[in-house]
Structure 1
Amino acid sequence: MKENLVSIITPMYNSGKFIRNTIESVLNQTYEDWEMIIVDDCSKDESPEIVKSYTKKDERIKYIRVSENKGVSNARNVALKNASGRYIAFLDSDDIWETTKLEKQIRFMKEKNCAISFTSYELINEENQKLNKVVRVPKSVDYKTLLKGNVLGCLTVVIDKSKLNFDIKMSGVRHEDYVLWLSILKRGYIAYGLDEVLAQYRKSLTSLSGNKIKSAMWTWNIYRNIEKIPLHKSIYYFVNYSINGIKKS
């Protein structure tokens, strides 16, 4: 584990339209001690060639292609297994970071002495146009608060592995990032929020999280089958999740 290295976890599938912007946003970081691990989930477009062209220019960018399309959880887990950094950051292949994202967030985490942090972010469309929607974050979140709704945008989360006594792994369950955050906070950790817009989340028509009904079903499944929360408490958290979802929209 390299002390100040940030390992950036980037799953990719047919992201030819966006991957350049994503990589450039990492290359433009003021914090330079990073590695970007891009795991290609059997893309059929030009995205592999685009990524390979960047690996030739900067050795910090690493390309891995899996032999079988198994989805985003598997791609992230492959990247996690190949990560060398103390810090783990997540950035999907169509999202973008502000240039000072890592510098400000790593400093923030050292000040807070925390294991996990997240930041505010804004929404953009497929044409890189801002949608005038900013998702603000609270100062901190514990396990029970997080059950009321996932306020940790995956593209903003950074985890300090040195403060955890277990391996970071995606479960494969829908909303796998939410499951991971819950598994960390359930152990007593607190997630600290930096209320500054340091990332841009691309809102696409095909976004999985865009389907409200499916998202609600996946959340209910997490309550009952992953977290094993009793029915009456699950209903309580689900009502809060629904209210927070309305506010977020």
Structure 2
Amino acid sequence: MKFKYEPLVSIITLTYNHENYIAECIESVLCQTYENWEMIILDDASTDKTPYIVERYAKKNKKIKFIRNEKNKGPLYLDENYNTALKECKGEWIGYLEGDDVLTKKSLEYRIMALNSIDENQRKYISLLHGKAGRIWMDSNIIDIVEYMHFDKRIINNDPIGAALNYFLLGLNFIYPGSVLINEKKLQKIGGFIQYPKEIRLVDFPTWCYLTLEGKFLFLDKILYFWRRHDKSITMNYNIEISKAVIKFIEKFWQENENRIPEKIKNNLRSYLGYHTKLELLKNLIMNCDFNEAKFVYEEIKNMNLSNLMQEHIVFRLKRTITFLALKLKSSFILKLALSIKRKKYDKILGTYQPFFFKNLEF
């Protein structure tokens, strides 16, 4: 499909030891129905065959640029890797695709279609476009679609500017990284991809928060990519560390930007900073049977009633009730049971995973 506005899209892909998945990732970009793209792949000193696979694709297609680190920087320096790749980008819009994830065939076409649905003046005020996602569960070989639970258009479109902070500063990250297009000028304005503290081990959530103050968002009600879940490889201690780092980031962001946050949002959120992340931390501590630390977190959030702040989705209200009950019973079983029920009720299973499955999807 031809559009009046056909900007170059730069897709940044970080990869490390993805020899089993990187070809699938690259092929999902090669088969895009929108053709004005470039792909910048940075390999963080893989020890497997990943760089050789990428190099083979890069030699065949000039739209693929390959950067290879001599030494592994690891998850504590993701921002350095992403910003190294960003320097090579020539596009007006920046995409984000990890080396084991895949795009749907019309992913870029749908995003460009959305940008064409608004006029040039409106596009200037968009800092980020985002959409929906699916998952590839590697432990069960199941493909499913994530139920999108955030229905407030003001929040998901960050309209007025800053509205998305109503969720972000609670610790709710409703944006799926592989679905985004980021306005390159606005990304450069905030200094590129942000990772603070280093222990947060991600750049998406901190970067979204800063982009919230630079322009509106544009939400697209389409499945734009699938991200791969390796559940067994994620330890509970890792999740606990991430939750603590997110809380630290939220507190820093608030201190740095309090004067820029709209007054109404500021007054609403002051007493609730990091609430949902703290609830997630409480859940992870219970799952890890660390009940002493869990009690401290519980005391901090037990009297926070978000009904005065926002209309919570029923899933979040149930999560609070079940997590508090699990602490009282000192049992993680109820949390595991609730998660299983939630997935069965809210997530739509598409079928069994097969490599390169995206080529046969009619999304």
Structure having the larger proportion of residues in helix: 2
1:102 and 2:114 are equivalent in the alignment: no
Q: What secondary structure, in the 3-state scheme, does the structure 2 residue paired with 1:88 have? A: strand
Shift of 1:239: 2.2
Q: What secondary structure, in the 3-state scheme, does the structure 1 residue paired with 2:189 have? A: coil
Equivalent pairs, count: 245
1:239 and 2:251 are equivalent in the alignment: no
Segment of structure 1 superposing worse, 144-153 or 98-107: 144-153
1:79 and 2:85 are equivalent in the alignment: yes
Which residue of structure 2 aligns with residue 203 of structure 1?
229
**So what's the TM-score if we normalise by structure 2?**
0.61
Choose from 190, 199, 224 the match for 2:216. Answer: 190
Shift of 1:19: 0.3
What is the identity, as a one-letter code, of the residue corresponding to 2:16?
Y
Written as runs of structure 1 = structure 2, the 5 A alignment for 1:112-151 is 112=118, 113=123, 114-126=126-138, 129-136=141-148, 138=151, 139=153, 140-141=157-158, 142-148=164-170, 149-151=172-174
What is the identity, as a one-letter code, of the residue corresponding to 2:218?
Y
Deviations 1:182-225 (A, max 9, x none): 111123x2222212111101111335899542332122011112
- Distance in 1 between residues matched to 2:133 and 2:236, nearest whole Å: 16
- Distance in 2 between residues matched to 1:51 and 1:128, nearest whole Å: 27
Deviations 1:8-28 (A, max 9, x none): 010111111110110000000
What is the identity, as a one-letter code, of the residue corresponding to 1:20?
A
Contact 2:186 2:211 in 1 (8 A): no
Which residue of structure 1 aligns with residue 245 of structure 2?
218
Unaligned 5+ runs, structure 1: none
What is the identity, as a one-letter code, of the residue corresponding to 2:91?
G
Q: What secondary structure, in the 3-state scheme, does the structure 1 residue paired with 2:146 have? A: strand
Unaligned 5+ runs, structure 2: 1-5, 159-163, 259-265, 280-315, 320-338, 344-363
Contact 1:179 1:222 in 2 (8 A): yes
Contact 2:169 2:273 in 1 (8 A): yes
Q: Which one has a bigger Cα radius of gyration?
A: 2
Written as runs of structure 1 = structure 2, the 5 A alignment for 1:169-184 is 169-173=192-196, 174=200, 175-184=202-211
Shift of 1:109: 2.3
Structure having the larger proportion of residues in strand: 1
Contact 1:6 1:89 in 2 (8 A): yes
- Distance in 1 between residues matched to 2:108 and 2:245, nearest whole Å: 31
Which residue of structure 2 aligns with residue 90 of structure 1?
96
Change (3 A) 1:151 1:85: same
Shift of 1:135: 4.1
Deviations 1:61-111 (A, max 9, x none): 111012322233222111101101111000000001000000111221232
Change (3 A) 1:208 1:65: farther
Segment of structure 1 superposing worse, 54-63 or 214-223: 214-223
Segment of structure 1 superposing worse, 162-171 or 44-53: 162-171
What is the identity, as a one-letter code, of the residue corresponding to 1:146?
F
Q: What secondary structure, in the 3-state scheme, does the structure 1 residue paired with 2:9 have? A: strand
Change (3 A) 1:126 1:5: same
**So what's the TM-score if we normalise by structure 1?**
0.86
In angstroms, what is the RMSD of aligned CA positions? 2.9
Q: What secondary structure, in the 3-state scheme, does the structure 2 residue paired with 1:4 have? A: coil
